């Protein structure tokens, strides 16, 4: 891999990370936010692999490769947990969006939702 | 959620900072290649990635296997499993395919685990394959007898961390260092730890797909 290639991969990893970051800030839907986090993670993986590929020697640096290898599996599992939490958010609030606008307009809504849940809990 | 112009300017600033950081990195970093290759012979395996994962940075991998367990415990405590509507259905194409593919996938997972000692492969790759096989099995309504046994599934999920922790404690007793395997035996220790990790990783990934704990009754009966 030439030096230019190396720079391109590193720059691409920064761009991928920032694309995910922007979506994380802008999107309200929790599913899109989880996807944004995954895109950010892909940027980090690309960065680590690009970094490890440039070291001198017969083989690429095994340490970043090992970190990415486990990182991918961990990120899949974290995504699974995030999806379960997102489903729980939707179950309890009847909404799958997190936004400031929602919080103001639907605050009375949510209050009644919590009360309903409480009465449900005491009934059972 | 914030206004687009604000998010956009934040992102541009971050991109500028990251680009600068990435650009100012040394073009030929020394890395840890030389160090890891120098001690490769002592690790018990000849694949440097496996040596890093299970020997040089074994503590790190122990914690990562723990994170996988935490994730599935979290999911199981939040929800009940959703069985795919198609599970247990009548598949003229999928069923014969799965009859051939599932044993092959399990075999390939074991092969990846074994080859990980000297070529690309290992518990995480094999586990991913095993997880995929489990997802296929659930979609095809197979493996019902396994998914009915929540106790067995729980043991399988914990096995990776359990064996890893026991190995860590034993290695501490025998050689005085956490996950510092007695010299000359590294290969056997790594194989035992990886075999347990393979089962746990595969089960974790496959069961995450169900999105919750299987109910006591397991898969609903096909009617």
Of A18-27, B14-23, B182-191, the one with minimum mean pLDDT is B182-191
Look at residue A30 and tell me if it is in a domain.
yes
pLDDT in tens, B31-62: 888 888 888 988 889 999 999 999 999 999 99
pLDDT at position B156: 95
- Residues B79, A87: C-beta atoms closer than 8 Å: yes
Look at residue A112 and tell me if it is in a domain.
no
Q: Tell me the residue range of the domain where A22 lies.
A: 3-99
In order of A110, B28, B178, the CA distances from B171 in angstroms are 54, 37, 6
How many CB pairs below 8 A link A and B? 153
By Cβ distance, the residue of A15, A57, A77 closest to B33 is: A57
pLDDT at position B42: 87
Count of CA atoms in the C-beta half-sphere (13 A) of A8: 5
pLDDT at position B203: 95
- Residues B33, A56: C-beta atoms closer than 8 Å: yes
Look at residue A46 and tell me if it is in a domain.
yes
Look at residue A119 and tell me if it is in a domain.
no
State whether residue B72 sits within 8 Å of chain A by CB: yes
Helix (H, G, I), strand (E, B) or coil at B195: helix
Look at residue A115 and tell me if it is in a domain.
no
Cα distance between residue B59 and residue A64, in whole Å: 15
pLDDT at position B107: 97
Looking at per-residue confidence, does B29 or B114 come out higher? B114
pLDDT at position A111: 47
A59 neighbourhood in chain B, CB within 8 Å: 33, 37, 48
pLDDT at position A5: 79
pLDDT at position B6: 93
| Secondary structure letter of residue B82 according to DSSP | P
Q: Considering only alpha carbons, which residue of chain A is nearest residue B51? A: A62
Burial of B60 (C-beta count, 10 Å sphere; 0-12/13-18/19+): middle
Above 80 in pLDDT, residue B91?
A: no
Helix (H, G, I), strand (E, B) or coil at B130: helix
- With tokens 């704990």, the residue in question is B213
Looking at per-residue confidence, does A85 or B86 come out higher? A85
By Cβ distance, the residue of A57, A72, A98 closest to B37 is: A57
- Residues A60, B7: C-beta atoms closer than 8 Å: no
pLDDT at position A71: 95
pLDDT in tens, B158-184: 999 999 999 999 999 998 888 888 888
pLDDT at position A117: 47
Tokens of A108: 């009375």
pLDDT at position B147: 79
The per-residue pLDDT of chain B, averaged, comes to 88
pLDDT band at residue B29, thresholds of 50, 70 and 90? confident
**If contacts are CB pairs under 8 Å, which of residues 26-65 in chain A contact chain B?**
26-28, 47, 51-52, 54-65
What is the CATH classification number for the domain harbouring A13? 1.10.287.3510
When scoring A73, A88, A104 by the number of chain B Cβ atoms within 10 A, the one with the most, hence best to mutate, is A73
**What is the mean pLDDT of the segment spanning B76-86?**
82
Domain count, chain A: 1
Look at residue A35 and tell me if it is in a domain.
yes
By Cβ distance, the residue of B15, B27, B128 closest to A14 is: B15
pLDDT at position A115: 47
pLDDT at position A113: 47
Above 50 in pLDDT, residue A114?
A: no
Look at residue A13 and tell me if it is in a domain.
yes
pLDDT in tens, B202-221: 999 999 998 888 876 555 54
Look at residue A7 and tell me if it is in a domain.
yes
B2 neighbourhood in chain A, CB within 8 Å: 25-26
Cα distance between residue B68 and residue B75, in whole Å: 11
């Amino acid at each position: 891999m030439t030096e230019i290639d190396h720079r391109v991969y590193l720059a691409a990893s920064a761009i991928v990370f920032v694309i995910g970051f922007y979506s994380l800030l802008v999107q309200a839907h929790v599913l899109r936010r989880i996807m944004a986090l995954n895109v950010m993670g892909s940027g980090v993986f690309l960065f680590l692999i690009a970094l490890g590929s440039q070291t001198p020697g017969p083989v690429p640096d095994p340490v970043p490769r090992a970190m990415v290898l486990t990182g991918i599996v961990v990120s899949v599992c974290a995504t699974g947990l995030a999806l379960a939490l997102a489903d729980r958010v939707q179950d309890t609030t009847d909404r799958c969006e997190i936004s400031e606008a929602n919080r103001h307009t639907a605050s009375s809504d949510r209050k009644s939702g919590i009360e309903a849940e409480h009465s449900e809990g005491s009934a059972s | 959620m914030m206004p687009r112009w604000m998010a956009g300017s934040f992102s541009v600033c971050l991109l500028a900072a990251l680009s600068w950081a990435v650009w100012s990195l040394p073009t030929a970093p020394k890395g840890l290649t030389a160090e890891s290759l120098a001690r490769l012979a002592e690790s018990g395996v000849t694949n440097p990635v496996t040596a890093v994962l299970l020997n040089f940075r074994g503590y790190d991998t122990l914690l990562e296997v723990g994170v996988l367990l935490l994730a599935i415990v979290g999911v199981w405590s939040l929800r009940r499993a959703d069985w795919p509507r198609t599970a247990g259905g009548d598949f003229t194409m999928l069923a014969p395919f799965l009859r051939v593919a599932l044993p092959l996938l399990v075999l390939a997972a074991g092969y990846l685990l074994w080859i990980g000692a000297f070529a690309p492969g290992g518990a995480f790759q094999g586990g991913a394959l095993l997880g995929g096989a489990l997802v296929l099995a659930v979609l095809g309504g197979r493996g019902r007898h396994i998914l009915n046994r929540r106790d067995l599934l729980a043991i399988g999920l914990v096995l990776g961390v359990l064996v890893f922790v026991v190995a860590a404690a034993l290695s501490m007793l025998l050689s005085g260092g956490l996950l510092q395997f007695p010299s000359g035996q590294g290969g056997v220790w790594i194989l035992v730890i990886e075999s347990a990790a393979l089962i746990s990783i595969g089960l974790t990934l496959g069961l995450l797909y169900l999105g919750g704990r299987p109910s006591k009754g397991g898969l609903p009966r096909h009617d």
